[in-house]
Structure 1
Amino acid sequence: MAKKPGRKPTGASMVPATCSRADLALLLGISIRALADWDLKGVFTKAQGRGRYETVASVNGYIAQLREQAAGRASSTGQSLTDERAQTERIVRQIKERELAKISGATLTVDEVSDSWSLFAAAVKAAVLSIPGKARSSIPHLTPHDADVLKHMCRDLLLDLAEEVEAAVISGAPEEISGEK
């Protein structure tokens, strides 16, 4: 069909049906690498031939994807922005709850618990190790050998207790303390 003289070409007739990767990147104002990333997400419509795209369909797909992002229905990671915001808010809320519990004294730090248990263990050790001396002073007919037997029994008891506690007590790793796995 011949063009009539003096008539300007319409916009649709000026756009080529297909374009190369470089042309599409230039048309959209993005880099070749960005175009490859968008292409992996299925935004562009491929045409016959290597590295060729349907121009109008690809531009429309790119614009539709940008609209989805702007409306908050999709992000560059593929996850909806609403979901990302909700996840971020959940994390922030959990952090604030833990900080509030710490400030109000509802929770203790690992160092505080460790210090308290160390003091308690030292007190138990001192009490148990004092048994032979107290027994000897309370029961005057005990021989030095009897006192040594009591002393060894108390030490063995403490060593056995230490082994059981070491095997049963948590290591102090945060995920073991809070129950998260």
Structure 2
Amino acid sequence: MHETHSNLADPALSQLPRALSKSAFAKLIAVSPGRVSQMVKQGLPVEADGKIDVARGKLWIAENINPTRAASQAKGPTLFGEERQKASLTEERARLAKEQADAAEIKNAILRKELVHASDVEREWASVLRKVRSGVLAVPSRVRQLLPHLTPHDVEAIDNELRRALEDLAHDE
């Protein structure tokens, strides 16, 4: 009734009992006991005493659980013991390599002047806007020189409207 198998092929399995309860098997493969019950309904082999043969269970999962589904990736049931640690380390190394590549990409973009610091942009725009403000505030005196027939009241009305427009822009959020 019980199949014999060699645990020598997988060192992580040699330290485990040959068969585990559903809850112990669930802990081993990092899923809930309910998920193990679902897998049993899908065909996960169960011994007559209700326990799951670790090697056969692992083989069944590898053959029947879709590794591309989000629920079964990385933390999923196909990773065991040292395999999970190796996968985790590999993922961390990949993440670190990506972060280092991103940092190098940003540094190179700055050197090529494709990216600039936000403070530099802010400083430049503040300078441009100060020049625009000065130019707008100088309009009434230039209009007075170009159109000498305007009364001081007309020039004051132009000045007031330009200042109101600048004030509205300053408070426009």
TM-score scaled by length of structure 1: 0.49
Specify whether residues 146 and 94 from structure 1 end up closer, same or farther in structure 2 by C-alpha distance, changes over 3 A only.
same
1:98-123: CA deviation from partner (whole Å, max 9, x where unpaired)? 22111332221222212211111111
How much does 1:128 deviate? Answer: 0.5
8 Å Cα contact 2:109-2:115 kept in structure 1: yes
Residue 127 of structure 2: aligned partner:
119
Structure showing greater radius of gyration is: 1
**Matches for 1:142-153 after TM superposition, within 5 Å:** 142-153=150-161
Gaps of 5+ in 2: 8-17, 64-71, 79-86
Which secondary structure state, in structure 1, belongs to the residue aligned with residue 114 of structure 2? Answer: coil
How much does 1:131 deviate? Answer: 1.0
How much does 1:94 deviate? Answer: 3.5
**Matches for 1:1-181 after TM superposition, within 5 Å:** 12=4, 19-21=19-21, 33-37=27-31, 40=35, 45-47=44-46, 52-58=51-57, 76-77=74-75, 89=97, 92-158=100-166, 162=169
Specify whether residues 121 and 56 from structure 1 end up closer, same or farther in structure 2 by C-alpha distance, changes over 3 A only.
closer
Distance in 2 between the 1:120 and 1:55 partners?
72
Distance in 2 between the 1:145 and 1:51 partners?
100
How much does 1:96 deviate? Answer: 1.7
How much does 1:36 deviate? Answer: 4.3
* RMSD over aligned Cα atoms: 4.7
8 Å Cα contact 1:21-1:52 kept in structure 2: yes
TM-score scaled by length of structure 2: 0.50
Distance in 2 between the 1:76 and 1:118 partners?
50
How much does 1:34 deviate? Answer: 3.5
Distance in 2 between the 1:138 and 1:59 partners?
91
The sequence identity of aligned pairs, in percent, is: 20
Residue 71 of structure 1: aligned partner:
none
1:20-58: CA deviation from partner (whole Å, max 9, x where unpaired)? 328x76xxxxxx73344398586x944157862135413
Gaps of 5+ in 1: 1-10, 26-31, 66-73, 168-181
Residue 5 of structure 1: aligned partner:
none
Specify whether residues 112 and 55 from structure 1 end up closer, same or farther in structure 2 by C-alpha distance, changes over 3 A only.
closer
